[in-house]
Amino acid sequence: MISTVSCPAQSGSHTVNLCDRYCREFITSAEEDGLDQLLSDGPWLRHIKSRAQQFFGLVYYETTHELPALQPSHPHAENEARPLQDVPDWLMQRVFATGVFPRNEVNQVAANEYLDRAGISSHVEEPTSFGPNLATLSMLSPVEMTLTPAEEDLHGRDGLDHGNWVKILLEPRSLLLLQGESRYGFRHGIRRSKLVRLADGQQLRRGPGYRRVSLTFRELLPSRRQLAVGASGRPT
């Protein structure tokens, strides 16, 4: 098992430690550079506007839009996936050593590239699509992830704080594990904030030149949404 530390977090009204485990320096700077090079060797897919993606193993992205390329039921979609074996074995074994995946059940590693102030809407990973355990490796630049109780009204999409939240600083080379309460009881998202509050109290400004890459390890379930594609290329 690996050693862990508490999350560097700031809280609204919540005082519960929402991180099951947060691991600083899960990889070295040299390993980070190697993984970034690995991603540069494969095409970044741009099926969604907010960020570019790569998939190792199964192709799937949770969305309410009908995008067969991201929720495929046909083998041709594997043309857009890279083999899971392309993920270095040392990294897979290190993730498994955390114990978060008791059956080594990872069948997808999803890479996301965030540029400038790109983020991701607050959400709970769909229980019918994904297994109970998630692990996210952050690289290159820090960002704050906001966790909000799943039952909390999001108050529209204005991004205003309602005070019922926890913000976790995801530092470069860190691994965040979500299980149990933090997996099912809270939405998680990344806002399009200009500033990132760092552990030493300083602030990083996001903008042109900012780049963060994440690798998310998870199990895709057979019950996930799968769209068939007809001869027209549209969902059937």
Q: For 175-221, write each residue's pLDDT tens digit.
A: 999 887 777 777 777 888 889 999 888 999 998 999 999 999 999 88
Tens digits of per-residue pLDDT, 15-40?
445 445 889 999 999 999 999 999 99
Alpha-carbon dihedral sign for residues 90, 92, 97, 103: negative
Give the integer Cα–Cα distance in Å for 100 and 26: 14
> What pLDDT, on the 0 to 100 scale, is given for residue 182?
76
What contacts 24+ positions apart, CB below 8 Å, involve 11-14? Answer: 11/165, 11/166, 11/167, 12/161, 12/162, 12/163, 12/164, 12/165, 12/166, 13/163, 13/164, 13/165, 14/149, 14/164, 14/165, 14/166
| Calpha distance 212→114 (Å, rounded) | 5
Domain with residue 13: its CATH number is 2.60.120.590
Cα four-point dihedral sign 45, 46, 52, 55: negative
Number of domains in the chain: 1
**What residues form DSSP beta bridges with 11?**
166
Range of the domain at 181: 9-218
Whether 144 maps to a domain, the answer reads: yes
Given a contact cutoff of 8 angstroms between Cβ atoms, the answer to whether 69 and 13 are in contact is: no
Per-residue confidence (pLDDT) for residue 166, from 0 to 100: 80
β-bridge mates for residue 158, sequence order = none
For residue 81, being part of any structural domain is answered with yes
- Asked if the structure places residue 55 within a domain, the reply is yes
**For residue 149, what pLDDT is reported?**
78
In a domain? residue 56:
yes
d(CA 158, CA 184): 24
Q: Residue 103 falls within a domain, yes or no?
A: yes
H and E: helices and strands count for the chain: 3, 14
76 DSSP assignment:
G
pTM higher than 0.75: yes
Both tokens of 44, joined, read 């970044």
Residue 171 falls inside a structural domain: yes
Q: Output the pLDDT for position 122.
A: 72
**Local confidence band at 117 (pLDDT 50, 70, 90 cut-offs):** confident
- Assess if residue 232 is contained within a domain: no
- pLDDT confidence of residue 27: 97
pLDDT band for position 159 (cuts 50, 70, 90): very low
Residues 6 or more apart whose Cβ sits within 8 Å of residue 77: 59, 68, 69
Residue 231 in any domain: the answer is no
